[in-house]
Structure 1
């Protein structure tokens, strides 16, 4: 199973924010849409960072309420791990586990093409295991 299959099912839409937006606006988007991360892009949809809930907590702990007025670029993680549609579910799980993060932007031709979360990956993996178990049961029943 690949990232392409996940995106075909869930879609390619990704909520983004610009690096010059105020952190308070990014937090509003995260809260309003009940998501855990925003991909930070410049005007031409090139990925320049990612802002996760963990990034928000870190900067709030350091700066206090004044953090709400800083630019997203000061709070985001600028070195973003990415994947492409040909990565397998197992490869994506490994990247997320090693990096200790839950959101992985998908890039195509140098531009943002989607995002996969650990929830997407786990859901797909469970579906695969259930399908395999059913195939084994069917095979045993007909043998």
Structure 2
């Protein structure tokens, strides 16, 4: 079980006040190079999430004036939390089931510790796959095992039974 904290680089979150305008929010998102942000009230409590999707669908599509529309008017008020020590696959499932691209990360004290995006999860998956391919490549070129090649239907199967190759790597090799 890979946890979010173990596999995803959790970046600091940047809340914006709900009374700011959408024009200010767009500049805020761009200056921090983020696609969504947590929204806070005047007391600093998190009251929503503002994403590019919200801005496109609720401001631009409806032809509202970004300079006169407040963040509170269009933000997503439904906040879905996930614990930073939760399984990564649970986070993916929550996003898919709820039709969202961002989840609020909380720690053991239920304090917000970040905003998890679908992109974060994809990057994590790609890194894991890249590491696995490197391991397969290293094992092959360093001759840690002597593969047996055979053709089955329309694909090549590489088999190994060497003890130096872990089960996951061996499975990938067999799939190739």
- Taking structure 1 as the reference length, what is the TM-score of the superposition? 0.81
Q: Verify the 8 A CA contact 2:21 2:69 in the aligned structure 1.
A: yes
Unaligned runs of 5+ in 2: 146-161, 163-176
CA–CA distance in structure 2, aligned partners of residues 87 and 47 of structure 1: 21
Task: Tell me which residue corresponds to 1:115.
Answer: 115
CA–CA distance in structure 1, aligned partners of residues 119 and 68 of structure 2: 31
SS of residue in 2 equivalent to 1:93: helix
Distance 1:12 1:127, change over 3 A: closer
Q: Size of the alignment, in residue pairs?
A: 140
The structure whose residues are more often helix, as a share, is 1
Higher Rg of the two aligned structures: 2
CA–CA distance in structure 1, aligned partners of residues 37 and 14 of structure 2: 6
Higher relative CO (Cα under 8 Å, sequence separation at least 6) belongs to 1
Supply the RMSD in Å over aligned alpha carbons: 2.5
SS of residue in 1 equivalent to 2:67: helix
Unaligned runs of 5+ in 1: none
Deviation at 1:75, TM superposition (A): 0.8
Deviation at 1:45, TM superposition (A): 4.7
Q: Verify the 8 A CA contact 1:89 1:125 in the aligned structure 2.
A: no
SS of residue in 2 equivalent to 1:115: strand
CA–CA distance in structure 1, aligned partners of residues 97 and 3 of structure 2: 19
Bigger mean CA offset, 71-80 vs 112-121: 112-121
CA–CA distance in structure 1, aligned partners of residues 39 and 78 of structure 2: 11
- Structure 1: which 4+ aligned runs deviate by more than 6 Å? none
1:103 equivalent to 2:106? Answer no
Instruction: Within 5 Å, give how 1:76-87 maps onto structure 2.
Output: 76-87=75-86
